[in-house]
Copies of this chain bind each other. A is one copy, B any other.
Amino acid sequence: MKIFPVTIALLVLFLFGHMVARAQDPLPSWNDGPAKQAIVDFVRTTTESGGTKFVPTEERIATFDQDGTLWVEHPIYSQLVYCLDRVQVLAKEKPVLRSIEPFKTVLSGDLEAVAKLALPELEKIVAVTLTGMSTDQFQAEVKNWLATARHPRWKRPYTELTYQPMQEVLKYFRANGYKTYIVTGGGQDFVRVYSEEVYGIPPEQIVGSVGATKYGYDTDGKPILTKEPKLLLNDDHAGKPEGIHLMIGRRPVAAFGNSIGDRQMLEYTKAGHGTRLAMLVLHDDSAREYAYGPAQELPNSKVGTFPQSLYDEAKKDGWFVISMKNDWKVIFPLELGK
């Protein structure tokens, strides 16, 4: 008798779970095709207890590039827009910036000239806008900026321009015991500000380009961490597997990217033992988003981020290419509300 209610409890839970699983398509924004099939097959076979491709829960690590993989990166990375906007704010506090390059160019509003700035000049902008304040101050500034900044094409907050099909992939992986990580060339502290709200990914699961901080005390004697202009990790290209080792210490089982900067992360992921999934989002939808894949011609800085060589390596090494045009029913979450 004693065991009876427990049996019912387990039976109910089992049947309920089974029904839900059958009734719901975990990827409703995806068209049927090889990309969707690859994701579903991968998740099923790596989580099927007793199967030859089973991956223990603690090893279920999936990494996702952000810009161009989880949200729009065109025409400029949102973090770069943040830095340029921030120069405007700082120039009010320090008018001397108006006469010093590269700030003078940024303040001129001449976007073509800004686009031509060389790396050392961009580094100066980054140093001034992303360092020299406490981690708490920086977080507050980014939060404020996100609330008002709008994408030039959709006139929406950047945080609304995530890809709905990829949001579904994140949830689907997590529902199957995977820890989802963002591995981005963008700033680790920048992405951490909104990642939990926007992607359901907590700050401790953000791997990004990151500078040192310095521990000290404010005027009230309270401990603070100040962001220093000293780069610890440039989390792009070879820096991605290096960042993954630094922050996670395990090789991912699945990795998603969209550009040449994700190449090493995908190689590193695929080179592990057992079943691995590597996928590339191909931007081939100029109508609903942008087109800057191998066969495309886009007259801007994004040309070359997905060269033919990357496409070739994908085919050779068994990575899957996701066509935004053919594989995705919708691009953005807001289209669902229409």
Binding site for B on A (CB under 8 A): 5-6, 8-9, 11-13, 58, 61, 135, 179, 188-189, 192, 196, 202-204, 206, 210, 212-216, 222-223, 225, 232-233, 238-239, 241-242, 245-250, 264, 267-268, 271
Contact = CB atoms under 8 A, between A and B. Distances in A.
Closest 5 CB pairs of A and B: A203-B249, A9-B9, A215-B238, A5-B12, A204-B248
Given A192-B249, A215-B241, A215-B242, 13 more contacts: A6-B12, A179-B204, A189-B249, A203-B248, A203-B249, A204-B247, A204-B248, A206-B249, A213-B246, A214-B238, A215-B238, A225-B241, A225-B242
A132 to B, nearest CB: 16
Given A9-B13, A202-B58, A246 B232 contact: yes
Nearest to A266: B223
18 contacts: A6-B12, A9-B13, A58-B202, A179-B204, A210-B246, A213-B242, A213-B246, A214-B242, A215-B239, A215-B242, A215-B268, A223-B241, A223-B264, A223-B267, A225-B241, A225-B242, A225-B268, A232-B233
A133 B124 CA distance: 35
Contact of A242 (B212, B222, B248): B212
B250 A204 contact: yes
A1 to B, nearest CB: 13
Interface of A is mostly: helix
Copies in the complex: 2
Contact of A204 (B238, B242, B249): B249
A188 B242 contact: no
Given A9-B8, A241-B223, A271-B223, A250 B215 contact: no
A215 B264 contact: yes
Given A5-B12, A215-B264, A215-B268, A225 B247 contact: no
A317 B308 CA distance: 61
Contacts of A267: 223
A272 to B, nearest CB: 9
A10 to B, nearest CB: 8
Contacts of A58: 196, 202
A233 B267 CA distance: 27
A267 B250 CA distance: 31
A144 to B, nearest CB: 19
Contacts of A241: 215, 223, 225
Contacts of A203: 248-250
Contacts of A135: 245
A281 B197 CA distance: 37
A58 B201 CA distance: 10
A150 to B, nearest CB: 27
